[in-house]
Structure formats: C-alpha cells, structure tokens
C-alpha cells in the first residue's frame, strides 16, 4: 500500500456516486466477520473473512438496485454492502477490496454503464493453461470485467476438444501449434466446463469463439476432407491472416460446423456463441454470404445469441445477432445499418482497445498495425461517439481483445494488460461524462505498489506518476 491515505473515491472503475464522510474509517482487522444471507454465501466466500450472524460487514440484497449495482455504506461501526443481485454485491466486494484494509467512511452508489464488459484472450496463437486463465480471471474481476471471450481456434491451432472430431485437438492442439512453434495444448471438455464454472463463480460469462469460415488452417490440416479439393494442407504457425477458408459449397462443411457449435453450446451455460467471421479474404463474397446464411441461425437453434466480428454485418443478421466492431475506421456503414435495425454492438476498436498493440516504439511485445496504444488513448474516448449511427442504445458493451502472436508467458499477458485494462474497464463501467484522465491517472498510480507486491508484471507507463 502507498503512504497516501486512501480516499473513498480511489476506485477503478470510478463509481457512479461517491459521498465521503470526513474522518470516519472502518479498519478490517483479523477477526472482522461477515454476515450474509444464504443467497450471498458464495459472494461472501470471496472476502476470505470469518463468518458470523452479526458480522461487522453485512452483505444484503436490495432488489430496488440494478442487478449489477451496489450500495456500499462505511461507518465507524461497520460496513453494509447491498446489491441488486449477487453480481452487484460481488462488484461491491471488488470496490471494498480496492479501498481496504482501512476503509474510508461514506457511501458509494454504483452501477455499470454497459452490461457487457469484456476481455478476449487468444488461446489459439499461444495456449494458456486452465490455471493460467483462472489467475487471469481473478485479476480481471478486480476491475468489474464480466465477460471473458476465448478465441479458441485459428490457423495455427485448435484448443477445445470436440467429441467425434478427435484430430482437431490431437493435431491442432499438438506440439508445434503455437506461433512460437511450441504451444501444445487444448482444453478438454471437462477442463473447459471447469473453467466456465470458475468464471461463473466470479460472475464472469465465458464467450467461446470458433472462428469461421476463415482462420481454419488447423481444421483443414486435421481434416483434409474440409478443403476445396480434399487434399492435405501444411500446418502453419506464421502470423499471416486471410489465407484459409471453409468451403461454402460442400455439405461436409456444415456437418462439421453443426457438430462443433452444438458441442460448444452444450458446454457453455452463457448466452453467447461467437462464430468469428473476420478477415475472410480467401472466401469469395458470395460464398461468405452463403456460408453465413446457413451458419448464423445455428446458435439460436441451441438457445444462444450469435456474436460475430463486424464483417458479418455484410449479411442479413438474425434478430438477436451481436456485431463486434474491431477495426480502426471512424465509421462503418454496415455496422450502422445493423444498429439501425436493432442489432447490438460490442465496441472493440483496435486503436483504443486492442491490448496486443505496442505501448510505444520501445515495447518489447505486441504489434503495431493499429498504431501505438498508450494508456491515455485506451482511456480517452467514448464508445457512443466512435461510430456514426451506433449510439448509446445500440451498444451492448466494450471489449478489450488480447491476441497472442507475440505472447509466450503469463508475464507477457500481464505486461500488455496492465495498466491498459483498467482504462478500458473504466470506459465500460463508469457513467458517461463521469470520467476524467487527470483523476484516472492519479487513481491508477496507486496500483503500482500493489501489483509489485503481488508479483504482477505490468508496464510502468511513463504517463503515470507511479507511487
């Protein structure tokens, strides 16, 4: 902890309302107990404090509050944390943890701007183990991130077991399938289910992505019958994109897609299936359209809403389809049309949210095709002002993708994630107009000593006066 006294508003993302009370504090000491009704047992467990019926930290539900909202009242006598639903109490617990152990007195009332606050991790270009992904989730929830998008398949590798299609993971998850030429690994169905449950226990929804019809070289290495001429193709672990495609005119394609999406839907309790759809330069436009017209309705047949990268907006979308905008252009007519027809948009402009962009020319990791992404650039923009025709009502939320071409370790993940993720998290959570770079950089500075103490590898961005 820093020398500076913690103020009630020293929280990231910045809460909607903060009313400090001078002088009152409540210190959490060993023996401080928590009381919680049965509905909040699992939330209370995350505090790691003893339990008592009359604990000084009281967790309650208040159905008048928004489901993810909470009210945190700190007095010299104790703490009352009410949430609209268990998720709201859990986010309030994250606020409490950032403020502690000597809690400043006052009242915080808070709720998110957007229901979807996401991070993407690319397991295809470099595999991360279930324990590594779980540790990542633990860090993300501190900033009230509630969706983890897993990019599970790409040209290099295939990282989720699909019963009946064993070569996807025997070959596509085998040795030499990472961009580094190492990277064997895949999630078994049981490991994936366990990861999804771990995330759910922290109010994080896993969004699985099976990228198609492009980004499928690993599929075609494993199953040559899914190529145009049925001939084997060579494995590739370079970082090129846009050279592979499923074949829109072949029935085998749809048997494969049906089987995979059914398996993933069955394994995923969350409401979304992401089918990729990006960078299909090897799919003729008519084939792209024909393929998507068959595939876009499949998630709904399994009770899921389909998400695709914004290229899918080129076709007529099913009613509940969600479009994820990712490029750097300042406008996109197809996305605006989709929004005008009621489709929701996840906003992930690469020049503001792609955590794999270098911080500056000296960054040892990351790419730079969308430019350099400083902490201030990740912070100082508004999702509802980015795309003409895609206003506040059309936006489901904001996601920060982390592609893994240049990543080799968890330390690498953390270096690119911190401190930019807190910036994007505040964009996604805090009220429109309630953000301020000068305040953010002050609040962010306090995380330096905490991350150092916790052994979190982060970039000491020169824009921040780290404590």
Residues with a catalytic annotation lie at 279
**Nearer to ligand ACM among residue 114 and residue 403 (C-beta):** 403
Tell the smallest beta-carbon distance from residue 325 to ligand ACM (Å).
Answer: 10
- Indicate whether 376 belongs to the interface with ligand ACM (CB under 6 A): no
Tell the smallest beta-carbon distance from residue 84 to ligand ACM (Å).
Answer: 33
Contact pattern from residue 227 through residue 266 relative to ligand ACM, giving x for each residue in contact according to CB under 6 A and a dash for the rest: ----------------------------------------
Tell the smallest beta-carbon distance from residue 344 to ligand ACM (Å).
Answer: 17
Contacts of 4 (CB under 8 A, 6+ apart): 446, 467
Alpha carbons 326 and 69: distance in angstroms, whole number:
28
CB 289 within 8 A of CB 329: no
Cis peptide before 400 (omega within 30 of 0): no
Q: Which of residues 382-421 bind ligand ACM (CB under 6 A)?
A: none
Partners of 151 in beta bridges: 122, 209
CB 48 within 8 A of CB 30: no
**Nearer to ligand ACM among residue 100 and residue 371 (C-beta):** 371
- Residues that bind ligand ACM (rule: CB under 6 A) add up to a total of 4
CA 428 to chain CA mean position, Å: 11
Tell the smallest beta-carbon distance from residue 152 to ligand ACM (Å).
Answer: 14
- Find the DSSP H helices in 323-436: 333-340, 350-353, 375-379, 410-417, 420-429
- Indicate whether 155 belongs to the interface with ligand ACM (CB under 6 A): no
Tell the smallest beta-carbon distance from residue 278 to ligand ACM (Å).
Answer: 4
Alpha carbons 101 and 99: distance in angstroms, whole number:
7
**Nearer to ligand ACM among residue 310 and residue 443 (C-beta):** 310
**Nearer to ligand ACM among residue 114 and residue 326 (C-beta):** 326
**Nearer to ligand ACM among residue 326 and residue 440 (C-beta):** 326
Partners of 399 in beta bridges: 118
Residue identified by tokens 């790409």 is 154
Tell the smallest beta-carbon distance from residue 279 to ligand ACM (Å).
Answer: 5
- Indicate whether 309 belongs to the interface with ligand ACM (CB under 6 A): yes
Q: Which of 70, 143, 326, 458 binds ligand ACM (CB under 6 A)?
A: 326
DSSP E strand boundaries for 123-261: 147-151, 205-212
- Indicate whether 165 belongs to the interface with ligand ACM (CB under 6 A): no
Contact pattern from residue 264 through residue 303 relative to ligand ACM, giving x for each residue in contact according to CB under 6 A and a dash for the rest: --------------xx------------------------
**Nearer to ligand ACM among residue 132 and residue 279 (C-beta):** 279
Phi-psi region of 279 (alpha: psi -120 to 50; beta: other; left: phi over 0): left
Contacts of 370 (CB under 8 A, 6+ apart): 328, 350, 351, 354, 357
Alpha carbons 272 and 266: distance in angstroms, whole number:
12
DSSP E strand boundaries for 203-343: 205-212, 272-276, 305-309, 322-325
Residues contributing to the site for ligand ACM (CB under 6 A): 278-279, 309, 326
């Amino acid at each position: 902890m820093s020398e500076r006294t913690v103020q009630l508003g020293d929280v990231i993302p910045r809460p909607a309302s903060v009313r400090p009370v001078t002088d009152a504090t409540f210190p959490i000491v060993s023996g401080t107990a928590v009381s919680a009704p049965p509905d909040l047992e699992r939330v209370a467990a995350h505090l790691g404090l003893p339990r008592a019926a009359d604990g000084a930290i009281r967790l309650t539900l208040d159905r008048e509050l928004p489901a993810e909202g909470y009210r945190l009242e700190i007095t010299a006598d104790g703490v009352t944390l009410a949430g609209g639903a268990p998720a709201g109490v859990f986010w309030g617990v994250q606020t409490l943890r950032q403020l502690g152990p000597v809690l400043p007195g006052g009242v915080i009332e808070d709720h998110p701007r957007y229901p979807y606050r996401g991070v993407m991790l690319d397991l295809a270009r470099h595999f991360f183990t279930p324990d590594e992904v779980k540790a990542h989730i633990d860090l993300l929830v501190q900033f009230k991130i509630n969706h983890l998008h897993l990019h599970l398949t790409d040209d290099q590798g295939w990282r989720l077991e699909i019963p009946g299609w064993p070569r996807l993971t025997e070959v596509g998850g085998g040795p030499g399938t990472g961009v580094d030429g190492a990277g064997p690994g895949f999630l078994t169905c049981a490991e994936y289910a366990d990861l999804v449950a771990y995330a759910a226990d922290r109010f994080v929804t896993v969004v699985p992505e099976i990228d198609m019809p492009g980004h499928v070289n690993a599929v075609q290495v494993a199953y040559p019958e899914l190529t145009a001429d049925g001939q084997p193709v060579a494995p590739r672990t370079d970082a090129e994109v846009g050279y592979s495609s499923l074949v829109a005119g072949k029935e085998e394609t749809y048997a494969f897609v049906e089987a995979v999406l059914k398996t993933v839907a069955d394994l995923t309790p969350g409401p979304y299936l992401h089918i990729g759809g990006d960078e299909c330069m090897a799919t003729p436009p008519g084939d792209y359209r024909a393929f998507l017209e068959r595939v876009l309705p499949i998630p709904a047949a399994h009770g899921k809403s389909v998400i695709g990268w914004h290229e899918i907006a080129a076709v007529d979308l099913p009613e509940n389809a969600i479009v994820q905008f990712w490029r750097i252009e300042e406008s996109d007519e197809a996305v605006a049309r989709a929004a005008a027809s009621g489709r929701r948009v996840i906003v992930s402009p690469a020049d503001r949210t792609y955590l794999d962009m270098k911080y500056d020319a000296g960054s040892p990791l990351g790419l730079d095709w969308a430019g350099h992404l400083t902490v201030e650039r990740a912070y100082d923009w508004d999702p509802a002002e980015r795309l003409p025709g895609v206003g506040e009502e059309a936006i489901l939320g904001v996601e920060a993708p982390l592609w893994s071409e240049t990543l080799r370790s968890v330390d690498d993940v953390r270096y690119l994630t911190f401190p930019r993720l807190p910036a994007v998290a505040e964009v996604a959570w805090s009220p429109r107009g309630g953000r301020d770079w000068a305040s953010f950089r002050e609040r962010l500075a306090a995380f330096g000593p905490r991350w150092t103490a916790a052994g979190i590898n982060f970039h000491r961005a020169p824009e921040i006066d780290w404590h």
